[in-house]
Amino acid sequence: MNIKILYFARIKESVNYSTEDILLPHNVKTITDLKSYLAQRGDVWTDLFTTQQTIRAAINHELVDNTAIINDGDEVAFFPPVTGG
Amino acid sequence: MNIKILYFARIKESVNYSTEDILLPHNVKTITDLKSYLAQRGDVWTDLFTTQQTIRAAINHELVDNTAIINDGDEVAFFPPVTGG
Amino acid sequence: MSIRVQTEDFDLTAELAALRSSKTDIGAIVTFIGMVRDLNEGDAISTLTLEHYPGMTEKSLSDIEKEANSRWQISQSLIIHRVGTLKPQDQIVLVAVTSPHRAEAFAACEFIMDYLKTKAPFWKKEKTSQGERWVEAKSSDDEAQARWKQSD
Amino acid sequence: MSIRVQTEDFDLTAELAALRSSKTDIGAIVTFIGMVRDLNEGDAISTLTLEHYPGMTEKSLSDIEKEANSRWQISQSLIIHRVGTLKPQDQIVLVAVTSPHRAEAFAACEFIMDYLKTKAPFWKKEKTSQGERWVEAKSSDDEAQARWKQSD
């Protein structure tokens, strides 16, 4: 399936991407799966998506946990804990 | 002793006084004593100072209860529960 | 810490600018504005007149500010209370508290209002189509104030 | 209920006038303003830059307002959050809540701020003499938000 991924703040700077459109293999179904898949890119991706670093995820503008299911056409976002206000 | 008494709001309208200077007999020592003393004036004074009506008292700008001692030169005030803000 | 009892209206932006001007460690400002409601106990209000006890009012508000200052980390505080005759939707009271931390600013501002409502010598008389009447004190205000009592 | 995300500053008096204009049953307005502090972790701040997630920001703030509205009797609410580059003592955020009752206005305003701090997708980067750094989230903000959780 095809999804869009957005990166924000510290994570955007680490991966040096703000957004990408990506075709996912069939075995990537959840946020956990997607993190593992991205971690395979090596270097900074491995550091970001396999360590204990806190990364928040959202699907279609809604905060979700790691077990959330990703569907075709979704907008997924990864970002650090928020610090507004 | 000589004291000044001030009346506010509903109580001021009832007694039709806003302030008076008064010479108290020796047996008037506390707020309770003063209320009994004023109640002897009859009519509206008796109604105000002997019924269960809630009357707050202050001595020298400080809220006090009925047992508070009055001293020569004090400014005593009687008023209903406050309704500011 | 600052207190004003006045007949004139106040402008929030101007008051906050003055409050902030001398401080740079402020992270949070919480303000409360109380206004004249258009209805009370089902009757339309045409005017509301506020009487107070000059001298005791200032002392009482100052004592409340000092107590708030001893309980929370406050940078600045301001209380403005109007007296005289007001109309529905006029501003009656402003309490503004600045602090490095928002939780302290919220607590101190609400504390000041709850104490002001039950301790400061102001009385309201409202005029309705039924005539004039003194506003009754509310037991809910006593309960709000009692929440803040500290056990020693 | 109203939400704005903007680079421009805001004027409190004007915002409150607009908020109040359509309602006559308001007795209480509680407002919170968050500002850029001059110091963080001991370092002087020269600028603070706010990034956000357009689309999710508005949804998230709107969800928080709706939740506050379901818990308390609110007449009107307004959230303004600035983005872009700010200086110390600039205003960052405004939350204003009007209600017939002050306790509800205080609770709803503080609730909105506590949720905004932990749920709305904003990130702060500060510039100090040591260079640029992302501001770390605080566990005290998570604790402040957790206080409001309702047991079902």
Where helices occur in chain A by DSSP H, the ranges are 9-15, 31-39, 43-50
CA triple C118-C44-C117, angle to 5 deg = 5
CA triple C9-C13-C18, angle to 5 deg = 95
Answer for the pair D121, D60: CB distance below 8 angstroms, yes or no. yes
Locus of tokens 């040591």: D130
* D33:C16 CB<8 A: yes
SS3 call for B84: coil
How far apart, in whole angstroms, are the C-alpha atoms of residue A75 and residue D55? 11
**Predicted pLDDT of residue C21:** 84
D126 pLDDT higher than 70: yes
pLDDT, tens only, C90-126: 999 999 999 999 999 999 999 999 999 999 999 999 9
DSSP letters, D34-100, are: EE--SEETTEEEEEEEEEE-TTHHHHHHHHHHHHHHHHS--SEEEEEEE-EEE-TT-EEEEEEEEES
**Positions of chain B with pLDDT under 70:** 52
Partners of residue D76 on adjacent β-strands: D98
C22 pLDDT higher than 80: no
Answer for the pair B57, B64: CB distance below 8 angstroms, yes or no. yes
Which of C56, C67, C91, C124 would best serve as a mutation to test chain B binding (most B beta carbons within 10 A)?
C56
* C122:B77 CB<8 A: no
How far apart, in whole angstroms, are the C-alpha atoms of residue D69 and residue D64? 9
- What b-and-e string marks burial along D68-107, b requiring 16 or more CB atoms within 10 Å of the CB? bbeebebbbbbbbbbbeebebeebbbbbbbbbbebbbbbb
B82 neighbourhood in chain C, CB within 8 Å? 117-123, 137
**Predicted pLDDT of residue A19:** 97
D8 pLDDT higher than 70: yes
pLDDT, tens only, A5-46: 999 999 999 999 899 999 999 999 999 999 999 999 989 999
- Is A67 an interface residue toward D (CB < 8 Å)? no
C152 pLDDT higher than 60: no
**Predicted pLDDT of residue A24:** 96
Output the 3-class SS for D4-29: EEECCCCCHHHHHHHHHCCCCCCCEE
DSSP letters, C9-70, are: ---HHHHHHHHHTT-S---EEEEEEEE--SEETTEEEEEEEEEE-TTHHHHHHHHHHHHHHH
Q: Which residue of C has its CA nearest to D28?
A: C34
DSSP assignment letter at A10: H
Answer for the pair B15, B39: CB distance below 8 angstroms, yes or no. no
How far apart, in whole angstroms, are the C-alpha atoms of residue D81 and residue D63? 15
Grade residue D152 by pLDDT with cuts at 50, 70 and 90: low
- Is C133 an interface residue toward B (CB < 8 Å)? no
pLDDT, tens only, D66-89: 999 999 999 999 999 999 999 999
Grade residue C25 by pLDDT with cuts at 50, 70 and 90: confident
* B84:C52 CB<8 A: yes
Highest mean pLDDT among C57-66, C133-142, D32-41, D130-139: C57-66
D90 neighbourhood in chain A, CB within 8 Å? none
Answer for the pair A84, A56: CB distance below 8 angstroms, yes or no. no
SS3 call for C99: strand
D92 neighbourhood in chain A, CB within 8 Å? 84-85
User: Out of A56-60, B81-85, C42-46, which region has the weakest mean confidence (pLDDT)?
Assistant: C42-46
Which residue among B58, B77, B82 places its CB closest to the CB of C123? B82
